[in-house]
Amino acid sequence: MIDFKSYSTHRSAGGAHTLAGLYYTSPEVFERELERVFYKRWICAGRSSRIVNPGDYFVETIGRESLIVTRDSGGAARAFYNVCRHRGTRLCGDSSGQFAGRIQCPYHAWTFALDGRLIGAPNMSESAGFRPEDYPLHAAHVHEWNGFLFLNLDANPEPFEKAYDPLIRKIDLSRWQVSELQVVHSISYDIRANWKLAFQNYSECYHCPKLHSVLSKLTPYRDSWNYFDEGPILGGPMRLAAGPGGSMTMDGKACAQPLAGVAGEDLGLIYYFTVFPTLFLSLHPDYVLAHRVQAISADHTRIVCDWLFHPDQVSRPGFDPQPAIDFWNMTNREDWMVSELSQQGVSSRAYDTGPYSQLESLLAAFDRHYLRLMEGASGARAAGTLPA
């Protein structure tokens, strides 16, 4: 049995040192993360464009749960556990598709409306007391924000606006037209490393001179500052060495016109934000990069990276996002390579916590936020297996 309290307070006092190895390796810690983080917080499920029309759907996995995400006939995004209310059968086997106005179980053909109501249950009228209204699909919460879909499996989640209040209040994403952007390219990476190593890697540029030779030339690694340094939103801007007209691309030049609301100093800045626990948002003058983090197990993470451009740019003759795609695909792979090396190292019996540098203050903040969620008494006692 793991004593989380003593590990975290002893090993990570004040956030000055890295987390103990078990946080990256232990199945017991991962179970607790499912209960306290991934089944409780808002989880990014990608862009709203995944479900444009009523009946469009995709299946999203959160921890061990399978969710059907669809759009109902009124145009509202909906999410349901992929579980039939009759005998529990998984309703939907395909990863995406289009429902013909309803969701039907492949077993005994119970049929659900796109808003989750049970609208067909063959022969069940013969069962005394059976009332279809008692058996809607189990719903999850959905929130659409700037063209992103977020899901929450908690029965009474913290309201989205409250959960991400600092970002919503202080950063006007409409300057980057984020709600209008379209995915022009997407890559899914499977990484043999814990999801927190990916967050920690994204949250510092201490590693940039050694690891990212191209990136380091475009944005000098110390030329950055933090807008958010505590809580679920962390990050801030880095200055482009090239100034206005530059961007994060293979040749350092913007590959599209600036997004409509980007002006003044912002033309020479890249903003990097982490949205705990599943999204990295990188705002460039000419495009936006979104990394979506899926924790699969203690040592396996899937990251889907979307390159988002404005439709007006995409439709221009000669539009070519490839320099941005190549740049971030290369940089991503450098980051995942070193994250996998980190996973291997922190799994060693020789690993002990190490001191964070001044350039890693956001990692200490990430750890503090994470530990606050992991340490609270209620979840530990409710789980019944972990000490308070």
Contact region with Fe ion (CB under 5 A), list: 65-73, 75-83, 102-110, 335-343: 335-343
In the stretch 92-131, what mask flags binding to ligand FES with x, by CB under 6 A?
-------------x-xx-x---------------------
Residue type for position 259: L
Binding-residue total with ligand FES (CB under 6 A): 8
Among 286, 299, 335, 367, indicate the residue that binds Fe ion (CB under 5 A): 335
Beta carbon nearer to ligand FES, 81 or 150: 81
Beta carbon nearer to ligand FES, 109 or 388: 109
Contacts of 22 by beta carbon, 8 Å cutoff, 6+ apart:
2, 7, 28, 29
Beta carbon nearer to ligand FES, 138 or 300: 138
Closest C-alpha to 276, from 176, 188, 200, 222: 200
Selection from ligand FES, Fe ion, none that 335 binds (CB < 5 to 8 A by kind) is Fe ion
Residue type for position 22: L
Residue 86 binds ligand FES, judged by CB under 6 A: yes
Shortest Cβ 85–ligand FES spacing (Å): 7
Selection from Fe ion, ligand FES, none that 225 binds (CB < 5 to 8 A by kind) is none
Closest C-alpha to 85, from 57, 39, 124: 124
Residue 137 binds ligand FES, judged by CB under 6 A: no
> In three state form, how does the secondary structure of 158-222 look?
CCHHHHCHHHHHHCCHHHHCHHHCEEEEEEEEEECCCHHHHHHHHCCCCCHHHHCHHHHHHCCCC
Among 10, 64, 87, 381, indicate the residue that binds ligand FES (CB under 6 A): 87
Q: How far is CA 108 from CA 111, 116, 123, 186, in A?
A: 9, 17, 10, 37
Token couple for 47: 């862009």
Selection from ligand FES, Fe ion, none that 360 binds (CB < 5 to 8 A by kind) is none
Give helix then strand counts, H and E, for the chain.
12, 16
Residue type for position 165: D
Residue 66 binds ligand FES, judged by CB under 6 A: no
Q: Which residues bind ligand FES (CB under 6 A)?
A: 84, 86-87, 89, 105, 107-108, 110
